[in-house]
Structure 1
Amino acid sequence: MLANAHQPVTATCPTAAAVRAAVVPPPPAPGAALQDHSRRIADTLQLLSDSLPLQRRVVRSGDTVYQAGERFTHLYVLNSGFFKVVNLSADGREQVVGLKFRGDWLGFDGIASGQYASDAIAMDTGEVWVVSYDALLAACARRPALMGVLHEAMSREIARDRDSLMSVCTLPADARVADFLRYWADSLAKRGLRTDQITLRMSRAEIGNYLGMTLETVSRALSKLAKGKVIHFAEKGRREIQIPDVGALSRFVQGCLAPASRALQ
């Protein structure tokens, strides 16, 4: 991902339809599709485990998987937990540029230059599988299916980076926060986890950093979503968010785009 991909950007889209098609996702996949995605993740992890030696590493919140500038030797596959990818600008500013869930890979940014370009940090207790890159390439030569898994993971990361940039470039602040919550809930659903109540592993400041917004703007957007009954805050903490209907988040985003659509007609 570009280091400045989540900095505030002012962009003009050619048509409202183009914005809606590029940014607003389709309704959540039906249960069968979600189960299929969860099964593919499990199959991928099993294929990796069967194909090459793995080092299993338990991490806790705040632990660093790797740091920018370290020599690239390994890729990391997430077996459990939540992780963030952080870039450090030349003037010392930290920028959250990626969120990772079970089945995702870490470390692709180190392949080209031979050193990692970002920090990968655990946001709660989890497990990463440490995969030697040289051993992975050798295993791919023996098992073509493994090469397909690697290419799929790279393609998925490119697509997510594109979608994230489109969100920052084209969505107003309230819609950006709603789209962030939708993405988080959808990622959980694809991994067989509950989505009616989620625990945000990021502070308001970190969410703002990721979305190119201030902490205050994030808080106002969450309050607006709660006032509209799209989300509810659980009693035990402001990071515990109840989402009665994930589809309502997508409809909220579409509603935010409606004024722009009328303006372009």
Structure 2
Amino acid sequence: MFNPSTPQTAAATLYGSRAAPALPAAGAAAHERASQKLTETQKLLKDRLDPQRRVVHAGDVVYQAGERFGNLYILNSGFFKIVNLSADGREQVVGLKFRGDWLGFDGIAGGRYSCDAVAMDTGEVWVVSYESLLAAALAEPALLQVFHTAMSREIAHDRDSLMSVCTLPADARVADFLRYWAQSLAERGMRTDQITLRMTRAEIGNYLGMTLESVSRALSRLARDKVIEFVEKGRRDVQIPDVGALSAFVQRCIAPAPAMLQ
């Protein structure tokens, strides 16, 4: 059971199972299967729901907090952030979304969206009426399974993100953030050896509960340790020679210090 008084123990429990990098062939095969599954799912949604397709560009708002709920949005391409507004007016990045993810689940319970969904680059969203989805699912049970899978994946990722922020030291948080980004790309059939971060250092810090300076220091340490490389100084293009090295770096950060001899 998670004990908040021992954050490193909790972090080791959460990350221990994925700290050791998988064999390259096995990892590639798993990512290929995930990519194929995503392609099949997207085809099913497109064929059965006939969604409205909407092209968005960096900064475009898909929906805003307080807006009446009516649609769900399936991401066909691009990267998106979910932003919440705190009581004192500060913006807080609370989620990142990739191809195959869904937007708008937060609006189902209360009838209004509780966050803003904002595009971070050029992409395409599929707009699906919630009522149409429920009606289509009656005739095609596979749609209901896809819907539930998407919700379950979001719940699981939100849990992992919370554990990362609450239990990992700063450097490990940034490493795990990069690992998640690269792994998400791999599962979608995209390259992971070089990724373009669609967020500024300040936005990454906002998402991870860190200052801009702490994010910069963590990235510099990862570069010094040869876990990542920058294509150009100060740019967002990051080379990741081995994604498994990021998991190993996280594990080293949370490993208990060796006991001192009395």
TM range (shorter): over 0.9
Greater alpha carbon shift after TM alignment, 166-175 vs 29-38: 29-38
For residue 14 of structure 1, report the CA deviation from its aligned partner. Answer: 7.0
Residue 71 of structure 1, aligned match among 68, 72, 76:
68
Residue 101 of structure 2 corresponds to residue 104 of structure 1: yes
Question: Which 4+ residue blocks in structure 1 deviate beyond 6 angstroms?
Answer: none
Residue 23 (structure 1) aligned to one of 9, 15, 27: 15
Residue aligning to 1:230: 227
Structure 2 portions without partners, runs of 5+: none
Which of residues 90, 111, 115 in structure 2 aligns to 1:114? 111
Counterpart Cα distance in 2 of 1:209 and 1:72? 27
Query: Are 1:167 and 2:164 counterparts?
Result: yes
C-alpha distance after superposition, 1:111-163 (max 9, x if no partner): 00000000000000000000000000000011001000000000000000000
Say whether the 8 Å CA contact 1:85–1:99 is kept in structure 2: yes
Q: Which residue of 190, 194, 204 maps to 2:191?
A: 194
Q: Quick check: 1:25–1:250 contact (8 Å CA) kept in 2? A: no
TM-score under structure 2 normalisation?
0.92
> RMSD of the TM alignment (CA)?
1.8
Preserved CA contact (<8 Å) 2:7 2:167: no
Pair 1:151 & 2:148 matched? yes
Report the Cα distance in structure 2 between the residues aligned to 1:66 and 1:232, rounded to whole angstroms: 36
Aligned counterparts of 2:206 and 2:252: Cα–Cα separation in 1: 24
How far is 1:20 from its partner? 1.4
Q: Is the 8 A contact 2:12 2:255 kept in 1?
A: no
Q: Tell me the SS of whatever aligns to 2:241.
A: coil
Does structure 2 conserve the Cα–Cα contact (< 8 Å) formed by 1:24 and 1:253?
no
Does structure 1 conserve the Cα–Cα contact (< 8 Å) formed by 2:53 and 2:126?
yes
Deviation of residue 53 (structure 1)? 2.7
Q: Which of these residues, 236, 256, 262, is aligned with residue 253 of structure 2?
A: 256
Q: Does 1:203 align with 2:195?
A: no
Identity %: 71
Count of residue pairs the alignment pairs up:
253
